[in-house]
Structure 1
Amino acid sequence: MSESVGVIGAGYLGTTHAACLAELGFDVLVAETDAARVAALRAGRLPFFEPGLAALLERHTASGQLRFTTSVQELADHADVHFICVGTPQRRNGLAADTTQVRTVVESLVPRLSRTTFLIGKSTVPVGTAAELSELSRALAPPGVLVEVAWNPEFMREGHAIVDTLAPDRLVFGVASTEAEKVLRHVYASVLARDVPVVVTDLTTSELVKVGANAFLATKISFANAMAELCEATGGDVLTLTEAIGHDVRIGHRFLTPGLGFGGGCLPKDIRALMARAGELGVSEVLTFLRQVDSINMRQRRKIVEMAVEECRGDVLGRRIAVLGASFKPETDDVRDSPALSVAAQLHLHGALVSVYDPRSNTNAARLYPALHYADSVASAVTGAHLVLHLTEWAEFSRLDPVELLALVDEPRIIDGRNALDPRRWRDAGWSYRAPGRPHLNGA
């Protein structure tokens, strides 16, 4: 196959995957409908934050190995392997995923093809989508042009996307032919040379891998939060509980930390889409537990708001509350479905004077919630505060000196919504410390 590769979509997934393909030595052309975004990327400017990605983008755009275009025809002429990296957001009128962008890719690209081409999906889609796209491709392909659809689900964690792409913990190839498998093995040859596990399977199974993994992770997080509620009712310590549980090698410690819960553009959307698809297939009963997983997760946000109200003696009206964190997780500026921003907005609606600080995502957060105040430092955010909320576990926040902050606040009260701070340090410095699932720590 050619060393030229196409990528459709210059969002987070597409840009990251394209830059990593360039790093692997391919000549990469990315097609994107947003002309302004294309102009920025051509100039080597990254429109979002991902550690290490800006350097890759700058290096490979400068060399010409990574290019961006708005022309689908240019993309069709460039390569015979194209990765589909467009969004599949939750539908406005339901839980299901909206695959409009994925279908649009096929409808716009396939009629312009002139030779045998492989379309490789990376977008997270409802099971059965690849089969539908295969049928659509056959219907739209010019006479004599063979188009084959394969699926190569992405497992990138925001904040770790480059490592997850260049040194993944596994690769999944959903294929319908040995030729498609050969194509994928060629693309990832240097990765596979490092003995990365590869699972070769059918299209259907490959589509289920990503949503299955996310459903399991979401369940694990919500289980930890369910245990936190039980600890609050009984006086137990949820961190000690989850530490003990996590030593079981069948369970493990990762994603077993209780707190504010999950957010972002993947886990919430994916578990809802999986429930919706199960309903369409007539097997909704087997995934009803995911509704409870989702419910527990959303309840964590209400619980932190309730804690804040309690810490403000039953009324936050006019109280100054500092919120540390706006992104849905650290090492990203992504604020989609961010639990931290949700809590900040709810407290604002209750009449609190909310000041938000995040090391990376203030600008994105302000686009969603312009009514909130955004500070340019921790010190600025907490000055005069009656309550501090720690809601995104940035390393900067774990290094804070509670003694220094003591002189800035009106009342030394903190809610550690992520169970990530050292309660002893804060209590010894004179703070009232509170965290989900640890009722014995409430107070100073």
Structure 2
Amino acid sequence: MAHQAPPRITVIGTGYLGATHAAAMADLGFEVLGLDVLPEKIEMLSRGEVPMYEPGLEELLRRHVAGLEGASGRLRFTTSYEEVADFGDVHFVCVNTPQRHGEYAADMSYVDTAIESLAPLLRRRALVVGKSTVPVGSADRLAARLAELSPAGEGEVELAWNPEFLREGFAVDDTLHPDRIVVGVRSERAETLLREVYAKPVAEGSPFVVTDFPTAELVKAAANSFLATKISFINAMAEVCEAADGDVVKLAEAIGHDERIGRKFLRAGIGFGGGCLPKDLRAFMARAGELGADQALTFLREIDSINMRRRGHMVELAREAVGGGLLGKRVAVLGATFKPDSDDVRDSPALNVAGQLHLQGAQVTVYDPKGMENARRLFPTLGYADSALAAVRGADVVLHLTEWREFGELDPAVLADAVAERRILDGRNTLDAALWRKAGWTFRALGRPTA
């Protein structure tokens, strides 16, 4: 039966995904309780502050956190599973599934712990909804565990799977106006409840796709594998362009006009990184192997290796640019995050290149608009500057490695006066070559040996 009152929502895990989901659910009009095991994170969120940089997220949070002036008060945070079990009708599990140390597979310990902690406290009807990215088959196993552990009993506590498709830098918009909502369910009741939760985006035209558990789990892996394939495809073309004196940017433009191919994700550069694509790709391969379907995904190994090769190629181009040896050379690196509009440096190609240059004897100075603190924690031995101008001072070569808008707006003439040598390598193919050359720079971009 439908709820008289709207369902009350809890969000377990308030990292990147959870904090965004909790704030968005409050914005859609629901009473929301967010849980995290780290008290300092809960204190921070309760003050209306976000533990990461994501455009628009802090404003969204502040509109709803209880106790803040002018807020709706629909959003609260806790460290207590008892409180969560007591409060919620729909429990979203948004914890992390990192890559296991030393192997490709996903580490499911946080998801397992969340279910083990919540289930024994569920004494009434509830729907538990997984949003974490998990190996296919996990939902089946977790549903059985939920039924086994919850006092409310069989049929009262159900599981559903509802993968997330957030793009960092656009997470708020992607949550409030998703390009699709996918739900893996086993009952009409679960589907009805999730339709109620997502009624607003569905009314605005977001497609609502209903599947079984394994398909819902596979959707996320398949989507990320496709995007990674597209990026590595154009980077493979960049390698061929380097060998054949072609121009990969023009090539991408020409093939992108074919609407079956499309323009998005066809920018050649130093490849993808971040907390999702690389680990999801590897976990997908590992899981396919366990299922005996590894041959279906052997091509993803090549996608991964093309991607990693890009970083090494950038290091080689830098070495060539400074005359063949990096020892004692000063290298300026513009960009530390894996993509713009984020402070996320997880598996960042830019930082990886900076680190490799440093290991080969270069003096590396990094500047990034938002990622400096995280970069410093990860690579304390690199040099850091608090502006692009300061970073390039005395540089023998400048590397543009994250496509922040700020870097596209730099004045090459101003930077020219600060560097030792006017050489720039564009690792993202977003700078205006003519502009830099006019200011006396030697300009080289990946996959464009002659452009």
2:270 maps to amino acid: L
Q: 1:436 aligns with which of 433, 439, 446?
A: 446
2:26 maps to amino acid: A
1:104-126 CA distances to partner (integer Å, 9 max, x unpaired)?
11100010011011011111111
2:332 maps to amino acid: A
Instruction: Please state if 1:267 is matched with 2:277.
Output: yes
Instruction: Please state if 1:98 is matched with 2:107.
Output: yes
Is there any run of 5+ residues in structure 2 with no aligned partner, and where?
Answer: none
Task: Report the counterpart of residue 175 of structure 1 in structure 2.
Answer: 185
Task: Report the counterpart of residue 9 of structure 1 in structure 2.
Answer: 13
Is there any run of 5+ residues in structure 1 with no aligned partner, and where?
Answer: none
Task: Report the counterpart of residue 115 of structure 1 in structure 2.
Answer: 124
User: Deviation at 1:364?
Assistant: 0.6
1:24 maps to amino acid: L
Task: Report the counterpart of residue 75 of structure 2 in structure 1.
Answer: 66
State how far apart, in whole Å, the 1-side matches of 2:121 and 2:180 are: 33
Instruction: Please state if 1:38 is matched with 2:42.
Output: yes
State how far apart, in whole Å, the 2-side matches of 1:274 and 1:425 are: 43
1:73-128 CA distances to partner (integer Å, 9 max, x unpaired)?
00000112100000000000310111111111110001001101101111111101
State how far apart, in whole Å, the 2-side matches of 1:197 and 1:46 are: 30
Task: Report the counterpart of residue 59 of structure 2 in structure 1.
Answer: 55
State how far apart, in whole Å, the 2-side matches of 1:202 and 1:293 are: 28
Q: 1:254 aligns with which of 250, 264, 276?
A: 264
1:283-331 CA distances to partner (integer Å, 9 max, x unpaired)?
1011000000000000000000011111110111111111000000000
State how far apart, in whole Å, the 1-side matches of 2:157 and 2:110 are: 19
User: Deviation at 1:168?
Assistant: 1.1
Q: Give the TM-score, by structure 1 length.
A: 0.98
Instruction: Please state if 1:351 is matched with 2:361.
Output: yes
Q: 1:210 aligns with which of 193, 201, 220?
A: 220
Task: Report the counterpart of residue 29 of structure 1 in structure 2.
Answer: 33
User: Deviation at 1:143?
Assistant: 5.1
Q: Displaced runs of 4+ in structure 1, greater than 3 A?
A: none
1:6 maps to amino acid: T
State how far apart, in whole Å, the 1-side matches of 2:253 and 2:152 are: 61
State how far apart, in whole Å, the 1-side matches of 2:371 and 2:245 are: 36
1:27 maps to amino acid: E
Task: Report the counterpart of residue 167 of structure 2 in structure 1.
Answer: 157
State how far apart, in whole Å, the 2-side matches of 1:197 and 1:38 are: 33
1:60 aligned counterpart, secondary structure: coil
Q: Give the TM-score, by structure 2 length.
A: 0.97
Instruction: Please state if 1:330 is matched with 2:340.
Output: yes
1:209-248 CA distances to partner (integer Å, 9 max, x unpaired)?
1110000000000000000000010111111111111111
Q: 1:300 to 1:59 in 2, by over 3 A?
A: same
Provide the aligned C-alpha RMSD in A. 0.9
Task: Report the counterpart of residue 395 of structure 1 in structure 2.
Answer: 405
Instruction: Please state if 1:86 is matched with 2:89.
Output: no
Instruction: Please state if 1:340 is matched with 2:344.
Output: no
Task: Report the counterpart of residue 364 of structure 1 in structure 2.
Answer: 374
Q: Is contact 2:7-2:90 (8 Å) kept?
A: no
Q: How many residues align?
A: 441
Identity %, equivalent residues? 60
State how far apart, in whole Å, the 2-side matches of 1:54 and 1:416 are: 32
The 10-residue stretch of structure 1 (92-101 or 271-280) with the greater mean CA deviation from structure 2: 92-101
User: Deviation at 1:144?
Assistant: 3.5
